[in-house]
Structure 1
């Protein structure tokens, strides 16, 4: 059947933004009519990390990947932090790089773009959608609490000039500190291209046809209700890790498994393992790596540490050899399968939203050491609102503070309550995505109709 509808998918090609967007697109593509095609726009490096060969999806003939210029001039020499400099250069290249690639996709497919489904960061998509006369559907890849914080940026900044220490005027935030807010909310826009990008996003999101979030309504009812009042339409369609596979096509892209890692887990007692992972971008500073290692060695229980090879030089001398009896080191772990195994008693994490969602989805408590972005707010919600984990004392790893957090989660009455709380939240997440009339099931159907009928 010839294609008649063409969905342009614009990714923010940094961190863990592009992968959840692709997961959502696969979910939509699996259920959409056969005459709907999807063009996925990301940088060359990002596309290669999420697509086989960077050209498209092997299982979905209706999803094609296109490269957009990353904004880095030829022979450019990075100064300072390359990651944040790359983001700044990419932002400067938008929206022209996307417009050029979108035109190529229209020419190649012979079908005009009928809808823009984009990372929410790409606020200029509001103008592109208006220019093309099509709907704009931004996807917020983080938690709804973080989205709310950004929408209230001006209010929070006004509080900074007062003696007020909390942000209780925001629905669902009562008791949270101003210091818990994302750094970009608290800083002047001129200090960071990313801060300005997110601020502009918050200004333009009310123009969107619908704003989509990788979460579920039941985790933050007050925040969900408030966001629905501020946006034309607001849909929670997650947690994506729990979204049931379509009978039409599979959407599981995690074909690679670390069998050695999973075999090691099988030999451990249920809910006994401390799993440590800080995502694909973050490595704690050397002194915190030492403190965390010393804590694990002192605790003496089983642990699985996903640690890239280059970071192992920061571990204490002889640590790996001394802990071979109870520790397992891997350069990459299949996180979903690890958390799903039933062997993990606590997850030590940077508190990225994808990791939190996976932990909730499989009922694993958290120990949080946030670093940047929404991670500080996420960790505050984990400990103070959802009560499914703990923040490390004073926000940094120390030997005693880390041992204490592990023992509280695994061996105390407080830990028992935390473990029960995460099981309750897991149940609500499962109901949202797997019960026929679950909130995320209904919301996804609304989204599918908007995309498929555009």
Structure 2
């Protein structure tokens, strides 16, 4: 009688930037055909988002539990994060054990539970039910090292923001290179508690997984591995943009916003190679009215074509007459298929908020970046983009919080037209090659995934 495959369940935090990489990791596990893989999603996903299973194998199962809220309103509404966090924890704690027990009594018991690192309390559920547990980190190793030092009381924030901060395995950092929740601890204290809680029970976990690859942060990954056993299993983006081993895996499968695919690609098709700057600040950033105005006129004054994602909730901040004056140079859309856009030959640079997913996507697709971080880990990611990976420049700001139209226009010209842009593009292409290598058969991340599966199979037979 053939032995049943071990069953692994994955549950993500209900935000697009957290669900998508875990979904990709689930696809990658399922593609090995050695495990039964179940991804748990909120039942509102099917009604509030575009959700598909394309590029998945028969080994990947999607199941739904009710979180009891609209995903689009959830993490996007920071007015009462305590209420959101408490509600989410309550609903998962009520419904996840029921789902796990359903599989137990159906003859396909779950052995391993992988959960988003910002939900460390899920490990308690796993252990109570006799399962192995593994957090999945959707942020960089460098940011995790900073939070770890802060939690251990080993990080002293200098009063003078010009002072340098020294942390083992990291480059010297200005205080403003630290995550904004660290150098400005008064901002969103509830969210600071969430990010620090990620490290509260790591010693009880069975594995620690990172959406990253070894070459990208070799020094800090090695330092972290000396503290806790970690596995880098990324970059977790659709296979057809990397190693192309998962046929049909051309999209994440989830978008909380409806992208205008046809309009974006048709507009890009009419542009010359590397002639367009793509601008997007993700699903959560909210630029001030003054910043939107400076950015708008700066893009127009740069004399480059631009494709700018401005969510519907942000479009009222655009300057009057901007749309009509920019019609010949730019296209403004409420959302777009970011991977397809970054992969398009017409795109020459990416102005980004430096969220970890966007940063990885640009690196994996060889696109130079214009770094304009907003908050949390984005400031540290920007430091690495500019000074470590050397694939972008920082859009300078007089007070480190706001930029002028002159800043924007100059930086766009430097990357799109100057020798600086050529050097950045060459570096970006090299990182693209390394990312593809990591996820290809026998690459570092592929080996780590195989090792993870082997260890699951071994523990399931003990």
- What range describes the TM-score normalised by the shorter chain of this pair? 0.7 to 0.9
What residue in structure 1 maps to residue 435 of structure 2? 429
Are 2:134 and 2:209, in contact at CA under 8 Å, matched by a contact in 1? Answer: yes
Task: Write the distance in 2 (CA, Å) between the matches of 1:437 and 1:355.
Answer: 25
Task: Select 1:175's aligned residue among 172, 177, 187.
Answer: 172
Alignment of 1:401-412 (within 5 A): 401-412=407-418
Alignment of 1:79-118 (within 5 A): 81-82=78-79, 84-85=81-82, 87-93=84-90, 96-103=93-100, 105-106=102-103, 109-118=106-115
| TM-score normalised by the chain length of structure 1 | 0.87
Deviation at 1:423, TM superposition (A): 1.8
Q: Does 1:420 align with 2:426?
A: yes
Alignment of 1:157-172 (within 5 A): 158-160=155-157, 165-171=163-169
Deviation at 1:48, TM superposition (A): 4.6
Q: Which has the larger displacement, 289-298 or 249-258? A: 249-258
Cα 1:61–1:47 shift into 2, 3 Å: farther
Task: Write the distance in 2 (CA, Å) between the matches of 1:161 and 1:345.
Answer: 38
Deviation at 1:206, TM superposition (A): 3.3
What residue in structure 2 maps to residue 229 of structure 1? 226
Cα deviation, 1:179-198, whole Å, max 9, x if unaligned, reads 32223445669963332222
Superposition CA RMSD, Å: 3.3
Are 1:32 and 1:452, in contact at CA under 8 Å, matched by a contact in 2? Answer: no
Task: Select 1:203's aligned residue among 200, 205, 216.
Answer: 200
What residue in structure 2 maps to residue 307 of structure 1? 310
What residue in structure 1 maps to residue 270 of structure 2? 267
Task: Write the distance in 2 (CA, Å) between the matches of 1:188 and 1:320.
Answer: 38
What residue in structure 2 maps to residue 216 of structure 1? 213
Task: Write the distance in 2 (CA, Å) between the matches of 1:359 and 1:191.
Answer: 28
Task: Select 1:450's aligned residue among 446, 451, 455.
Answer: 455
Residue 200 of structure 2 aligns to a residue in which SS? helix
Cα 1:115–1:440 shift into 2, 3 Å: same
| TM-score normalised by the chain length of structure 2 | 0.85
Cα 1:129–1:100 shift into 2, 3 Å: closer
Residue 173 of structure 2 aligns to a residue in which SS? coil
Cα deviation, 1:129-178, whole Å, max 9, x if unaligned, reads 3223322121111222222222222356641277793332321x222123
Name stretches of at least 5 consecutive residues in structure 2 with no aligned partner.
254-258
Task: Write the distance in 1 (CA, Å) between the matches of 2:66 and 2:108.
Answer: 19
Name stretches of at least 5 consecutive residues in structure 1 with no aligned partner.
none
Cα 1:77–1:19 shift into 2, 3 Å: closer
Q: How many residues align?
A: 445
What residue in structure 2 maps to residue 363 of structure 1? 366
Q: Does 1:139 align with 2:136?
A: yes
Task: Write the distance in 1 (CA, Å) between the matches of 2:267 and 2:80.
Answer: 34
Cα deviation, 1:87-122, whole Å, max 9, x if unaligned, reads 433355266235444345436744322111111111
Cα deviation, 1:367-393, whole Å, max 9, x if unaligned, reads 122122211111111112211112221
Q: Which has the larger displacement, 174-183 or 366-375? A: 174-183
Residue 370 of structure 2 aligns to a residue in which SS? strand
Are 1:12 and 1:18, in contact at CA under 8 Å, matched by a contact in 2? Answer: yes
Cα 1:158–1:267 shift into 2, 3 Å: closer
What residue in structure 1 maps to residue 406 of structure 2? 400
Cα deviation, 1:393-422, whole Å, max 9, x if unaligned, reads 124231011111111212233333222221
Task: Write the distance in 2 (CA, Å) between the matches of 1:190 and 1:311.
Answer: 22
